[in-house]
Structure 1
């Protein structure tokens, strides 16, 4: 069968690559074409990469408005490419701003559409639920708590675990020892606190200054910010100036694996940190009025995927508009070695792993997708 996949950011590229490998096992005759990145190109063939996400990623309202013409052209280009490939199924991977529009178009063209990694409509933009119900043939979810949510909206989702477990399990054997990580990056022997300040310029601007002030309170430890290569190092250095924070690039898992604890900006990184078994504090700075409006705008009680999946505040969430580090210092001390909350949090992470499910989710999802397509095309079902 022929599969067309669309991913628009690094995480989607990672999960898309793992899904392609699973689809190859479930359907040895599979043919692929996709929008994605380097990982998907390695898994599905460089010649089958129609567009790299580096050309399609526009974050924030300002970037989107500045690039409206480009986005419209890319949408048209994508539709033309999908139509020319004539896939048996269009698989949309997260990236809802673009992919929800593709879902509607595909539905109108009679193209079978699967959505893999559902848009976070349970947190915001709940109006998208109606479009999912109308335009998506099958919804594949990666968080256990989403089952009840989507079922309550008249959508029967498919859950087979979380592919992040696969991604982590694949990386673990390759990760250096904490000693080797220190040697490679010129770090000393003090315990490491990992800083995951976000993957967008605005998140670095808002969160790294708070983390820099926090580091000053812990001279007996070294704070290491895990940077990303698509953001200029100068951006980090602007907010690290005068602090003792060290910088490493594209070594997030390596930094976490060597760390005693972490301070993490909300997002997928909170779940990755927990699955790696590293105690964490979640911090997120935003505008004061957004803090005040949070109970009225956000549809869920927590921002961390750890807490959402466990159904309670297992990791402390500090959402604030200023640079007050009082609470952050208190919560971080509680999860360091000997801290009052460390063992309790590690036990919660063990429970989280059981809830999320074990490795092999990508292959299980792939088998379900292939099974759905074969069932739908069986002569007796027509």
Structure 2
């Protein structure tokens, strides 16, 4: 059978790659075309558009690039029509994928959604759109099941794909030597994967280094940004690793993390963290009006309480960042409380196998349809 998969971000590319492997295990004749990235290509998909071309962050930037985004949507529709897939599989990336889903359903494509848009966080009315335009929704957080029940929408909780990614992770035996790191304790800086995130976060993150001279600070860079972009932030005490975030976390004592998937990844590695978030004032004021949840980090949302400190917008100051970093490094009671919270989060997220389960279910559903 033929599958067209759309992932517009780095994390979607990673989870999409594991989904592709699962589909191929269940359907030996699978032909897969995708909008995604390097991980999905390595897993066997033919990539026609890389996610780095699609990464627009914040309301203001989306508005500035609306013409380009609409153009991409038009291109994507034409590619789907030309490919004629048995299944269209959408991975997160709500603004783009919800538009594609609406069009696809009208044109009688079978539409699956893996990793639901965060409609529970803001603009909850989009849940009706999902119910109307999606044949099957696979969710990765247990609280999403009860959320969608309010809309009479039965969804499948498959567990969290980060367990898959971490289970497949093979630590590099020479990580420290290869990256010219010493045996001093590491503070990891995870500024995000988009240029705008890095610009907003990294200046403040690296500014804390002189207050923690006993530690080596290491930036988790990403390959979709050029190395030259990070160079202004580097010196003899602040180093950079590219596409080695899990290796870095496995060697870290603490971390400063931009809100997003990385907060949950850091928790699963049981690294104490401070969550950071800052965007343009216009974007923030819009988000503030729309947001419907009490936290922004996935760790706290899953726990339904504060496990990690969130420094958001005006609270993300040099002084606050130093104070919170000091707590998770120096205060053993504070650190242990955070680790206990992490363990509770792990228990609620299920087990390894989310991508395998989702891929198998998609193939099963398609086979049932064909045999009817």
When normalised by structure 2's length, the TM-score is 0.91
Corresponding residue number in structure 2 for 1:51: 49
Alpha-carbon shift at residue 326 of structure 1 (Å): 3.1
Corresponding residue number in structure 2 for 1:159: 157
The 3 A distance-change label for structure 1 pair 289 and 56 is closer
Match of 1:201 among 195, 202, 213: 195
Unaligned runs of 5+ in 2: none
Corresponding residue number in structure 2 for 1:42: 42
Q: Secondary structure at the match of 1:165?
A: helix
Corresponding residue number in structure 2 for 1:254: 247
Corresponding residue number in structure 1 for 2:221: 227
Corresponding residue number in structure 2 for 1:176: 172
The 3 A distance-change label for structure 1 pair 97 and 293 is closer
Q: Secondary structure at the match of 1:336?
A: helix
Q: Secondary structure at the match of 1:340?
A: helix
Corresponding residue number in structure 2 for 1:303: 296
Alpha-carbon shift at residue 128 of structure 1 (Å): 2.2
Equivalent residues of 2:59, 2:283 under 8 A apart: no
Say whether residues 1:148 and 2:146 are aligned partners: yes
Alpha-carbon shift at residue 297 of structure 1 (Å): 2.9
Equivalent residues of 1:216, 1:243 under 8 A apart: no
Corresponding residue number in structure 2 for 1:18: 18
Alignment of 1:309-328 (within 5 A): 309-321=302-314, 324-328=317-321
Match of 1:214 among 208, 224, 233: 208
Alpha-carbon shift at residue 107 of structure 1 (Å): 0.8
Question: Which whole-Å deviations, capped at 9, do the CAs of 1:106-136 have from their partners, x for residues lacking one?
Answer: 1111111111111111122334222212111
Alpha-carbon shift at residue 353 of structure 1 (Å): 1.6
The 3 A distance-change label for structure 1 pair 235 and 43 is closer
Unaligned runs of 5+ in 1: none
Match of 2:278 among 272, 282, 285: 285
The 3 A distance-change label for structure 1 pair 216 and 198 is same
Q: Secondary structure at the match of 2:327?
A: helix
Distance in 1, Cα, partners of 2:90 & 2:297: 24
Count of paired positions = 372
Say whether residues 1:346 and 2:343 are aligned partners: no
The 3 A distance-change label for structure 1 pair 292 and 56 is closer
Moved more, 358-367 or 70-79: 70-79
Distance in 1, Cα, partners of 2:234 & 2:47: 40
Distance in 2, Cα, partners of 1:99 & 1:295: 23
Match of 1:88 among 81, 86, 97: 86
Moved more, 225-234 or 65-74: 65-74
Alpha-carbon shift at residue 159 of structure 1 (Å): 0.8
Moved more, 368-377 or 217-226: 368-377
Distance in 1, Cα, partners of 2:85 & 2:223: 34
Equivalent residues of 1:192, 1:222 under 8 A apart: yes
Moved more, 361-370 or 258-267: 361-370
Alignment of 1:72-87 (within 5 A): 72-87=70-85
Distance in 2, Cα, partners of 1:276 & 1:102: 35
Distance in 1, Cα, partners of 2:186 & 2:246: 13
Question: Which whole-Å deviations, capped at 9, do the CAs of 1:208-257 have from their partners, x for residues lacking one?
Answer: 2221232221111111111123224444344x377932222222112111
The 3 A distance-change label for structure 1 pair 128 and 176 is same
Question: Which whole-Å deviations, capped at 9, do the CAs of 1:252-274 have from their partners, x for residues lacking one?
Answer: 11211111111111000001111
Alpha-carbon shift at residue 363 of structure 1 (Å): 0.8
Alignment of 1:361-372 (within 5 A): 361-372=354-365
Match of 2:126 among 114, 125, 128: 128
